[in-house]
Homo-oligomer: A and B are copies of this chain.
Amino acid sequence: MLDFAVLGLLMERARHGYELKRALAELGFWKVSFGSLYPALRRLEKRGAIEAVSGTGRRKAYQVTDEGRAIFDSLLQADPDASETERAFQIRLAFLGHLPREHRVQVLEGRRTKLSTNLRSSREILIDARSNSQDQDRYRLALMEHAMRSTESDIAWLDGLVAAERGVASAN
């Protein structure tokens, strides 16, 4: 998945390692370490997805190859299975602009369905957690309740994104 994110960022322009790390952090959801990033760059290079175009000083900028673009597209278009991580979804979302509209809506609604399911099971869990909890568990309950509210807000947000897509669609 890191490979996917790196490819996506390199799609716009060549970047070197440090810059990629910063860009990933600025997306807000992933403070990737060098111990993840540099091996990832080497992996991608070995697969022929990216190539080094040495930059200023000791910088090593990388750019995507045609092969890399093909890999990125296939990763982007592969329909996300049910086991997709939170993070994997966020990466997919960050680059959703590269997909056609119908496909975008599909991804968003797939995610929405998953969150709704999660929410339902959380509700059940919470109900019987509440019924047999000690005072000590107060924070655990608070944590669960807050997580549920966050999920609800995520769902509302997804609905907003879908509505925006449809709005744009009808405006076209």
Contacts and interface: CB of A to CB of B under 8 A. Distances in A.
Main secondary structure of the interface of A (DSSP, over half): helix
B28 A139 contact: no
Given A27-B143, A90-B143, A95-B140, 6 more contacts: A26-B129, A28-B147, A93-B142, A98-B136, A146-B154, A150-B153
A38 interface: no
A107 to B, nearest CB: 10
A122 interface: yes
A136 B97 contact: yes
A157 interface: yes
Nearest to A99: B139
Interface size class of A (residues with CB under 8 A): 20 to 34
A135 B97 contact: yes
A85 to B, nearest CB: 9
A46 interface: no
Interface of A: 26-29, 90, 93-98, 122, 125, 129, 135-140, 142-144, 146-150, 153-154, 157, 161
B153 A28 contact: no
A143 B29 contact: yes
Given A146-B157, A150-B150, A93 B139 contact: yes
A29 B147 contact: yes
Nearest to A8: B140
A74 to B, nearest CB: 19
